[in-house]
Structure 1
Amino acid sequence: MTRGCAARTTISSTPAGAEAVGSEPHLVLAVGATLGEGPVWVPRDNALWFVDIKSRHVHRFDPASGDAKRWDAPGEIGWVLPASDGGFVAGVADGLYRFEPEGEGFAKLRDAEPHLPDNRLNDAATDRQGRIWFGSMDNGEELRTGKLYRFEDGIVVDSGLAPVTITNGPAIAPDGGTLYAVDTMGKQIHAHTIAHDGTLSDGRCFIAFDDSVKGNPDGAICDSQGGVWVAFYGGWAVRRYDSSGTLTHQIDFPVANITKIALGGEDGCDAYATTARKGLNDAELAQQPLAGHLFHFRVDIPGIPVTSANVKP
């Protein structure tokens, strides 16, 4: 289903032609996450939600008040997404859960990969129909056992894409017709056409990064003009590519491990980036005292409001 990336795009750490956006990233919440991930702006409460996978925490941050809350998850948690009937759907290591922050906490909905106990869930997004697209990965980051799935009508469906070691994204284009799947260890992003019934076709190479690019592509989202924002783990940066795969913006960070951004706020142009301490030794942590914290910067193209997930019991 996916054609190989024969020609690999070379992008330096300070690429020519990459524009600056509205502001430099700055610290907004000190959480010291081991592996911060999955930021999502939830309009119904005007707050950012994100997770710390390895510490098994869910975080909520209200930028207007500065208020921050934290919940414990029942396992390593890759993401939370708002549900259409209230509450959230959460991707925990062993499956999908309902998460009720003000109620009973976590309740399991479905197993994901009971035949792969060494896998865990990693990243997710909703499409315009409210389907959840989510990926798995080898928790040891070695085996090619990570798969992409969709959760629809209470059922987990294999997308049919070939397995990779670490899935990331996926990012959904604003018209709902294209899914961008990130192969983190392969340093590639592939685009796929989404049919109305959720099947994927016409897999093609969107971007492949050669070894001159610092770090590995991590979480990805699309903005309202179809640009794809990609965070780079170990790469000290977040980059935006237009729908043709051309680099348009680069945001440099004071920490190495950027995992994903969310776009939200009143005008959709507030960007929030999660980061990670995982993989940094003592010397690196001393040089990066802000590693694992939450950052904010402004962009010039608004994001896409998240579609709440349709969930059946």
Structure 2
Amino acid sequence: MSAEPVSVWPLGAELGEGPVWLGDERTLGFVDIKKQQVHFYSPDTGERRSWAAPEPIGFLLPARGGGFVAGLQSGLHRFDERTGAFAPLAPVETHLPGNRLNDACVDPAGRLWFGSMDNGEREPSGAFYCLDESAVRPAGLPPVCITNGPAVSADGRRLYHVDTLGGTIDVAELRPDGSLGEPRPFVRIDPADGYPDGPTIDSEDHLWIGLYGGWEARRYSPAGEMVQRVRFPVANVTKLAFGGNDLRTVFATTARQFLSEEQLAEQPQAGDLFQFRVNVPGVPCSLVQL
């Protein structure tokens, strides 16, 4: 049933990221970090809506009670999709003005897990955090340059986190109180194959990862075995999200940043939003508890 990825929104994002399926609205939300934009796409009607963000924006995830929590360069904000307004929620890393927030997920308990990174992509100043009962705390994971994820297993017992430049995906036990066990290696990806970007979990607890510079997305079993790959017509695949009525339509954000004119001529769909179908559905996105 798997199909080739098809472009459904040729928007040419500089750095498309953070897709999330909003089941009640039957809409996909995602961001363009570098162009500082929030996008919404409704596949049933083809409607497309966009908002400007005041800073580089790494993610937006739905909150209980309505609205979203967005990760901007300066920290966490509330976002109202009806008006496009942002309101500060919690500052993060005010002592590191060269950092920005990058990627995030919500665990079944409503905790928001997110990471920061050096916006210049050189210094190992990125860290992982958790928003738990409206308080931001360090996740207790080692610092890296570019964090991605985290992603939480469907049963809420494991947390996967990515060191993009290091090419590694590690996993740690996620305890009921929100603390983490000792991280252990899960998958290492050869730089020749691309760099692991945003991770996503499906209903069989397999992990999907987009490969930046790798022209594909991969699916790994809970044991770390690669069991599926989906090739794209563009090099930079950033993150996937499961959506549609049966959660078997996969949406993928991509990027055109750092591509030369020659490369863009070879991959004119770079930065588009894609979709393809899979056999195993995803897991509905939990809501952030504030």
TM-score band, normalised by the shorter chain? over 0.9
- Structure 2 distance, partners of 1:49, 1:210, is 31
SS at match of 1:51: strand
Which amino acid in structure 2 is aligned with residue 283 of structure 1? Answer: E
Gaps of 5+ in 2: none
Matched residue type, 1:138: D
Q: Is the 8 A contact 2:51 2:84 kept in 1?
A: no
How does 1:43-82 map onto structure 2 within 5 Å? 43-82=23-62
Structure 1 distance, partners of 2:19, 2:81, is 16
Equivalent residue for 1:286? 265
1:21-60 correspondence to structure 2 within 5 Å = 22-60=2-40
Query: Matched residues in 1 for 2:133 and 2:161: separation?
Result: 22
CA–CA distance in 2 between the matches of 1:240 and 1:104?
Answer: 35
Match of 1:146 in 2: 126
Q: How does 1:169-180 map to 2 (within 5 A)?
A: 169-180=149-160
Deviation at 1:197, TM superposition (A): 1.4
Once the two structures are TM-superposed, the CA of residue 90 in structure 1 deviates from its matched residue by 0.3
Amino acid aligned to 2:274: F
Query: 1:262: how far off?
Result: 0.2
- The corresponding residue for 2:188 is 208
Matched, 1:268 2:252: no
2:146 corresponds to which residue? 166
Question: For the residues of structure 1 that align with 2:137 and 2:238, how far apart are their CA atoms?
Answer: 26
SS of the residue 1:80 aligns to = strand
Matched, 1:217 2:214: no
Q: Are residue 259 (structure 1) and residue 204 (structure 2) matched?
A: no
2-side partners of 1:75 and 1:103: how far apart? 17
| TM-superposed deviation, 1:74 | 1.0
For 1:259 and 1:40, the matched residues in 2 are separated by 13
- Code of the residue aligned with 2:98 in structure 1: it is D
Q: Quick one: which amino acid aligns to residue 118 of structure 1?
A: G
Alignment correspondent of 2:164: 184
With the length of structure 1 as denominator, give the TM-score of the two structures: 0.91
Partner of 2:111: 131
**Contact residue 252 and residue 273 of structure 2 kept, 8 A:** yes
Structure 1 residue identity aligned to 2:197: D
Distance 2:11 2:55 in 1: 19
Superposed displacement of residue 152, structure 1? 1.1
Letter in 2 for 1:282: E
Structure 1 position 297 matched with structure 2 position 288? no
SS state of the match for residue 24, structure 2?
Answer: helix
* CA displacement 1:58-91 (0-9 Å, x = unmatched): 0000000000000000100000000111011100
For residue 55 of structure 1, what is the amino acid of its counterpart?
K
Task: State the partner residue of 1:94.
Answer: 74
TM-score in terms of structure 2 length: 0.99
Give the root-mean-square deviation of aligned CA atoms: 0.8
Cα distance change on mapping 1:210 and 1:104 into 2, 3 Å: closer
Contact kept? 2:52, 2:84, Cα under 8 Å: no
Quote the Cα distance in structure 1 between the aligned partners of 2:7 and 2:77: 31
After superposition, give the CA deviation of every residue in 1:158-199 in whole Å (9 maximum; x if it has no partner).
011110000001111000000000100000000000111111
What is the distance in 2 between the residues matched to 1:286 and 1:22?
27
CA distance in 2, matches of 1:42, 1:130: 15
Which of 99, 114, 124 is the matching residue for 1:119? 99
What is the distance in 1 between the residues matched to 2:251 and 2:190?
A: 27
Deviation at 1:214, TM superposition (A): 1.8
Q: Which residue of 1 aligns with 2:209?
A: 230
1:156 maps to 2:156: no
C-alpha deviation, 1:124, in angstroms:
0.2
Q: Please list the CA deviations of residues 96-135 of structure 1 after superposition, one character each: whole Å capped at 9, or x if unmatched.
A: 0000011361000010111111000000000001110000
Q: Measure, in 2, the Cα distance between the counterparts of 1:104 and 1:267.
A: 29
Runs of 4+ in 1 over 6 A off after TM superposition: none
State the shift of 1:55 in Å: 0.2
1:257-298 per-residue CA deviation (whole Å, 9 max, x = no partner) reads 000000011001000000000010111011110000000000
Q: Which amino acid aligns with 2:116?
A: S
What's the % identity of the aligned pairs? 48
Q: Is the 8 A contact 2:117 2:145 kept in 1?
A: yes
Query: Once the two structures are superposed, what CA deviation does each residue of 1:194-228 show, in whole Å capped at 9, x if it has no partner?
Result: 111111113100011234x4210000011000000
Could you tell me how far 1:56 is from its partner in structure 2? 0.2
